[in-house]
Amino acid sequence: MRTFFESIVLVSVIMISNLSFSQTPNLTGVASNDLTMNVITTAMPFLSITPDSRAGAMGEAGTALSASSSSIYWNTSMLSFAEKKSEISVSYVPWLRQLTNDINLSYLSGYYKVNDRHSIGGALRYFSLGEITFTDASGAVIRNDKPSEYELVGSYAFKLSNKLSVGLNGKFAYSNLTGGLVVGGQQTKAGVAGATDLSFTYYNPDARLGATDGVFTFATTINNVGNKITYSTNAKRDFIPMNIKMASSFKANFDKYNSLLYTLELQKLLVPSPPITATDGTILSGKSNDVGVIAGMLQSFHDAPGVIRTGSDGNYMQNSDGSYQIVKGSKLKEELSEINIATGMEYWYNNVFALRSGFFFESKNKGNRRYVDFGTGFKYNNLGIDISYLVSVSGKNSPLANTLRFTLRLTLGDPSASKKSSL
């Protein structure tokens, strides 16, 4: 039988190999540096901030991790495979510490297993943007305000079979950024959205990797499918951060004391890419992103504008029919660059002490978020504490650098329930 240390080396090699190929595959002959900056922006970005410290220490790859109260954010269907009857947790994240010290995210979540097939849960997310001073065009102070946003979630998971489950979330989100001020002659208002998440999990607690017993999980989720919002009566409505995630994980159980988990996750926004436009708003390449929710989700898979070819004079080159010449392969390359990659590892000793690390990659032309995470976890009886720390590798001035996350968990239920490892 493979020794504990041999298995660590094996899983580590798998992880390093994935990291080595974490750059968007160059299937088109177009280098990443040739793509132009074309970041996809959304309203209510606070909905995409990772709240929990466990996944936050593993490259923010939480979709295929074992059931916990944090699964309500990542993958509600995973609640069907929870070992404990219920859990409640609270997380706190000081946000953008490089820029200010009064922006933070608080997250309260919990679940309850009604029986073997039905599980329910709920969560409250509160995001405070700190104190902001509003001024007029001449710089005179209008007033001080503390903008905030929150989200309420109700969750349900249904176990289809011993290895399959589906989950559904219903959400209400509220974003008040201006406090009703008149800005640029327009009356502002709070943004309000209703949304849903749909999730699916395949869970095999009797998997094997070579001679090593373990637990294999595959999961996919579609998140934040909801209405577009606006912050004023006359402004264009914006998408909220709808996204799709696909992930898998394997937890190797070496003996009753030692286990090691590896997870890999792909993430993509289901929001249209901005087109390339002229100064008068005419679309030169790509498609209009002023479309409905369902049309926008479908369009997000094939609307990248790519790169317009330029001549020696620096001007865009046109075809004989008046359309603009696109660098061959650049549209496909940009579509592929919209896929973010997250990966992480977690080591547990005696189900009491955990060490975690992970990596998150986003293409330079889509935002350039790249960071390494580290963290630890402790369990004592029904109480657990998780802490994570983020190190940016995309530049020393990254506003995400040095992000800390803290999570406190309380599990409830029969402690003698099956102790087959949860991921």
Query: For residue range 100-135, what is the model confidence (pLDDT) as tens digits?
Result: 888 999 999 999 999 999 999 999 999 999 888 777
Predicted confidence at residue 397, as pLDDT, reads 74
Tokens read off for 390: 């983020």
For residue 12, being part of any structural domain is answered with: no
For residue 14, being part of any structural domain is answered with: no
Domain range for residue 208? Answer: 41-303+342-412
Of residues 265 and 180, the one with the higher pLDDT is: 265
Which tens digit of pLDDT belongs to each residue from 25-55?
A: 443 444 445 788 999 999 999 999 999 999 9
Q: What percent of the chain has pLDDT over 90?
A: 70
* Dihedral sign (CA 177, 44, 291, 328): positive
Tokens read off for 38: 């074309």
Predicted confidence at residue 20, as pLDDT, reads 37
Q: Sort 55 into a burial class: Cβ within 10 Å, 0-12 / 13-18 / 19+.
A: buried
Predicted confidence at residue 415, as pLDDT, reads 45
Is the pLDDT at 2 greater than 70? The verdict is no
Q: What percent of the chain has pLDDT over 70?
A: 89
For residue 138, being part of any structural domain is answered with: yes
For residue 87, being part of any structural domain is answered with: yes
| Cβ atoms 222, 241 nearer than 8 A | no
CA-CA distances (angstroms) from residue 384 to 53, 302, 380?
11, 44, 6
Say how many domains are in the chain: 1
Of residues 166 and 101, the one with the higher pLDDT is: 166
For residue 10, being part of any structural domain is answered with: no
Q: What is d(CA 63, CA 202) in angstroms, rounded to the nearest whole number?
A: 12
Is the pLDDT at 21 greater than 70? The verdict is no
Which tens digit of pLDDT belongs to each residue from 347-401?
A: 999 999 999 999 999 999 999 999 999 999 999 999 999 999 999 998 767 888 8
Predicted confidence at residue 140, as pLDDT, reads 75
Q: Sort 346 into a burial class: Cβ within 10 Å, 0-12 / 13-18 / 19+.
A: buried
Task: Give the distance between the most distant pair of CA atoms in the chain.
Answer: 75
For residue 325, being part of any structural domain is answered with: no
For residue 19, being part of any structural domain is answered with: no
Average pLDDT (154-167) is: 97
Q: Sort 344 into a burial class: Cβ within 10 Å, 0-12 / 13-18 / 19+.
A: buried
Average pLDDT (141-162) is: 92
Q: Strand pairing partners for 144?
A: 133
For residue 185, being part of any structural domain is answered with: yes
Predicted confidence at residue 305, as pLDDT, reads 94
CATH assignment at residue 53: 2.40.160.60
Q: Band of the pLDDT at 1, cuts 50, 70, 90?
A: very low
* Dihedral sign (CA 193, 129, 105, 112): negative
CA-CA distances (angstroms) from residue 214 to 72, 208, 316, 418, 419?
24, 5, 56, 15, 13
Of 95-104, 137-146, 166-175, 310-319, the poorest mean pLDDT is in 137-146
